[in-house]
Structure 1
Amino acid sequence: MTVLTTVDSAEEAAALARTAVEERLAACAQINGPVTSVHHWRDALETSQEWQVLFKTTEAAYPALEARLTADHPYDTPEIIATPVVRGSERYLAWVAAEVKAG
């Protein structure tokens, strides 16, 4: 499974990534950015730069990863989206499973 979130700085992205991997809630995390986000927030159209963090994890560890991201995230309403991995390299997926310790 992959889990995506966005934050407003490279430093925040690195902190979330580091904590999740250190706590073995994710096998790895990739930071991309800046990306431009356009969205409504509090009745106004916003355009901002954000950094995306993509976590590689397991379904069993998702609840603990979501809880950690929610607790540490700088946004009041963070984007936390999980996507199942329907296919992948058997060796890579085995590595992810071995690295992640479920909640």
Structure 2
Amino acid sequence: MALLSLLRVPSASASPPPYSHRRPTAAGTLLVRRAPLVGALWVLSLGAFTTLCCRTGCSHSIPFLRSKLFNQPSGRTLHSTAMASASITVPSIVVYVTVPNKEAGKKLSESIIKEKLAACVNRVPGIESVYWWDGKVQSDAEELLIIKTRESLLDALTEHVKANHEYDLPEVIALPIKGGNEKYLEWIKNSTRDV
């Protein structure tokens, strides 16, 4: 009954000002139209709740919501999705390499792709690197290369970067890809050379 009082709509004879969501009732008091607010809060809380459960991998904590509302099997978690991706593809990595300028980034990224050492290289211009070198703090504008490849190609990629880079000590840092779009991960495998 309390919910019905929240959803009560005032009479049509009283027209609200265009800028207000409140309108006077026959008794002269203000009645707040709560239905949109209640609905919005419910949707937001549902979204936050399911996001939290999905993020923590607790699919069993809300099996009804995940299986009925989102049409997903209740036993499948983000972890099992990552494991399924890994089983049909090869282990993949993301590698960071910094270069001094746009021209060096273009030249190095194209040579990496031509040698099939990576499926894709994203070039991120305009980064500022602050680092320790020659006993003092240095700062330089650089371009960041984000390279997607097979884990098994890391050694060959590292050697290629070292042989074709302008720096004496080029950055080559690899991070594992734990899961993702299965078709994209398969594309990484198919777009790179076998070891």
Shared fold per TM-score greater than 0.5: yes
Query: Which is greater in Rg?
Result: 2
Q: Which has the higher strand share?
A: 1
Task: Extract unaligned runs of 5+ from structure 1.
Answer: none
1:76 paired to 2:158: no
Higher RCO structure (Cα 8 Å, ≥6 apart):
1
2:119 paired residue number? 27
In 2, Cα distance between the equivalents of 1:86 and 1:101? 21
2:108 to 16, 19, 22: 16
More helix by share: 2
**Residues 51-93 of structure 1 deviation map (CA, whole Å, 9 limit, x = unaligned):** 0001110011111111101111111111100010001110000
Q: 1:60 aligns with which of 127, 136, 152?
A: 152
* Structure 2 spans left out of the alignment, 5+ residues: 1-92
TM-score (norm 1): 0.96
Secondary structure, aligned partner of 1:61: helix
* Number of equivalenced pairs: 103
Are positions 1:45 and 2:137 aligned together? yes
Q: Could you tell me how far 1:9 is from its partner in structure 2? A: 0.6
| Residue aligning to 1:91 | 183
Q: C-alpha separation between the residues in 2 aligned to 1:4 and 1:102?
A: 21
**CA separation in 2, counterparts of 1:50 and 1:87?**
29
The answer to whether the 8 A contact 1:64-1:102 is kept is no
Q: Does 1:6 align with 2:107?
A: no
Of all paired residues, the percent bearing the same amino acid is 32
